[in-house]
Amino acid sequence: MAAYHVYRISPTIAKLVKPMELLQVFDNYKDARSFTREQRQDTSNSPQDTFKVIFADNALDAEEKLAEFREKPIMKEWEK
């Protein structure tokens, strides 16, 4: 069954492999969002860490989606 997975992604020199850690799985988006916000505010976490919520069928699917390369969107002049 699909759920919301919360990951901590640590910075790395190599862009190919992202070290990520599954923190928790939620059935409800609001719970996942509030947990992620709490993690971002927690001072015990490294300020370089990134926290992401992703909707996926399982942890493997979530990690594959997080690891895939996505190009940055092209900003139009009026969007700046």
pLDDT range class, residue 79, cuts 50, 70, 90: low
pTM of full prediction above 0.75: yes
Polymer length of the chain: 80
Assess whether pLDDT exceeds 90 at residue 48.
Answer: no
Q: For residue range 55-76, what is the model confidence (pLDDT) as tens digits?
A: 999 999 999 888 887 777 777 7
The answer to whether 6 and 52 have CB atoms below 8 angstroms apart is yes
Q: How far apart are CA 9 and CA 21, in angstroms?
A: 7
